[in-house]
Amino acid sequence: MTLIDRIRDLIASGKTEQSLDELYHYVKENNADTIDHLVMLQNRMKTLQRNVQIGTMDEEAEAKERAKINDAILKLLPQLTPEYLAQFNRTGTYTAPAKNMNRLYLIGGGAVLLLIILIIALSRGGGSEGDALAEDTELTANPDMAADEASGPAEGTLLYDVMAAHGGYAVWKSEYNEANGQSIFRMEDDKTCQEIKNNQVVGTFQILTNSPDYITLYDADRQLYLRIGDISAEFHNEGESNWNPLFDGAWITPPDAPQ
């Protein structure tokens, strides 16, 4: 049984605390960002248990909070695939497969496109074998075409909600302050984010995670981790673990977005 299967079985058996402990033990040497998630979930679990013990939380509220914690654990599991762990062990980072994030696509759009192509192909039943072979060759030469059309951030994540609310764009603008000035963080695709100050690119971040609450970024040149939520951004340098406040801000629709 794989670790992921075991974690799912523990959650299904109501053993949330044990699933958190085993998951923490497994990834503590591999991924600092996942550890941050787990520490927060462990704190939520301890708070839940304490509230139950002192009688400030009834059974219904306990069940709802436990369900939320279980859901958060399950959303972390896709990061723990063998491909993820193998690449992280080699490079210290993970690069997800490229997707087109310029706009949101309807899930299943690619399947509809393939169905239409199939119908057209069948309606040409009188065509020559050579024509059919040419059409088959064209389709197999572009196997990712339909998949690209259906790609996008996972539903329920921060970027999904942001892009749905801002016309397919993910741009976070900080408030101005004397210490840090003002920055704009623009997601270029599902792998990279650029930091822009005074209309100049001052840094390029790799997108590490996209959770329901925030995205986590890493700038290899500055050895800097950044975490952006709805209205605030935090940072820590490589080798550190505590997050420090950086900016307040908000997600915006860029001025150059088509109307």
Q: Residue 30 and residue 182: Cα distance in Å, rounded?
A: 33
User: How many domains, in total, are found in the chain?
Assistant: 3
Asked if 193 and 136 sit in the same domain, the reply is: no
pLDDT at position 134, please? 37
Q: Are residues 206 and 132 in the same domain?
A: no
Residue 104 buriedness (CB in 10 A; 0-12 / 13-18 / 19+):
middle
Residue 30 predicted with pLDDT over 80: no
- Average confidence score pLDDT of the chain: 74
**Token pair belonging to 183:** 């920055």
Query: Are 49 and 134 in the same domain?
Result: no
244 and 164 inside one domain? yes
Q: Is 23 in contact with 36 (CB distance < 8 Å)?
A: no
8 Å CB contact between 190 and 75: no
DSSP H helices in 166-232: none
Residue 71 domain boundaries: 3-91
What pLDDT sits at residue 42? 82
Determine, yes or no, domain membership for 189: yes
pLDDT tens readout for residues 189-240: 778 899 998 888 888 999 888 888 889 999 888 889 999 999 999 999 888 8
Quick one: pLDDT at residue 228?
A: 94
Evaluate whether residue 191 is within a structural domain: yes
50-97 pLDDT tens trace: 888 888 888 888 888 888 888 888 887 776 655 555 555 555 444 444
Establish if 102 belongs to a structural domain. Answer: no
Instruction: Examine the domain organization and report whether 48 and 124 are in the same domain.
Output: no
Q: Are 117 and 139 in contact (CB under 8 A)?
A: yes
Tokens representing residue 74 in the block = 């399950």
Treating both helix axes as pointing N-terminal to C-terminal, what angle do 32-54 and 16-27 enclose, rounded to 10 degrees? 160
Work out the percent of the chain whose per-residue pLDDT is above 90. 13
- Kindly state whether residue 80 falls inside one of the protein's structural domains: yes
**CA–CA distance, 3 with 8 (Å, rounded to integer):** 9
